Amino acid sequence: MLFKRKNHFSEQDLSSVILACKERNPQAQRCLIRQFTGYAKSISLRYAANIQEAEELINDGFLKVFVNLEKYDHSQPFKAWLRKIMINTAIDYYRKNQKWHEQVSMEGVEISDCSSDILSEISAQEILTLVQRLPPAYRMAFTLFVIDGFSHKEIADMLGIQEGTSKSNLRDARRKLQAMIKIYYPHLYQLYHWPNRGFNAN
């Protein structure tokens, strides 16, 4: 059976590919990777410091997909299951390497509170670039809370930290992002204020 990438990948197509992947069909595995690499990349880039790190997360994530494919519940959307694996892969990578990460203090950084939508003037790629420049602990807290919608309790459980630490990391992530916007987009910083929508630390 030939497995080709399609613009419209039906549920029947997906079921056939997954079944073949469970039988360790390499062509089906390549097909699944081709079909969902873009989606996996969009998740991994939010957690990675650079494209090389993101590619490592993608490779590790798909390896976990194939190892755990028997556990996939076909009544649930495959993308949701893949998203969970990719996020968990990023968390595992962070926890494995966090002892090498230097925590950056934000003490003494004074950024005024803002309220309007400066992010509407910045492209998604530019926002992603700023997030990637955050220290790992801040990037994890910001991405998990703001982008992927986890609570501080969930983040604390996933990262093995206290809820207060998650809140503190998110607060410092916001302050550092504000500082970077002030540096890289001074004209916007003077015209707009930092948005409250979705960025509250609590």
Q: What is the pLDDT of residues 82-113, one digit of tens each?
A: 999 999 999 999 998 875 444 444 343 333 33
Q: Residue 172 in contact with residue 138, Cβ under 8 Å?
A: yes
pLDDT of residue 8: 66
Q: What is the pLDDT of residues 146-157, one digit of tens each?
A: 999 999 999 999
**Under-50 pLDDT residues of the chain:** 100-116, 194-202
Same domain, 151 and 187: yes
pLDDT at site 190: 62
Q: Is residue 1 part of a domain?
A: no
Q: DSSP state, 31? A: H
Domain that holds residue 120: 106-191
Residue 197 lies in a domain: no
For residue 4, the model assigns a pLDDT of 60
Nearest in space to 39 (alpha carbons), one of 57, 27, 19: 57
Same domain? For 83 and 115 the reply is: no
* Domain total in the chain: 2
Task: Let me know if residue 187 belongs to a domain.
Answer: yes
Single out the residue in 69, 99, 129 at which a domain terminates: 99
Structure confidence at residue 123 (pLDDT): 76
pLDDT value of residue 109: 36
CATH code for the domain in which residue 155 is found: 1.10.10.10
Sort residue 136 into left (φ over 0), alpha (ψ -120 to 50) or beta.
Answer: alpha
pTM flag (> 0.85)? no
Instruction: Give the containing element (helix H, strand E) for 20.
Output: helix 11-22
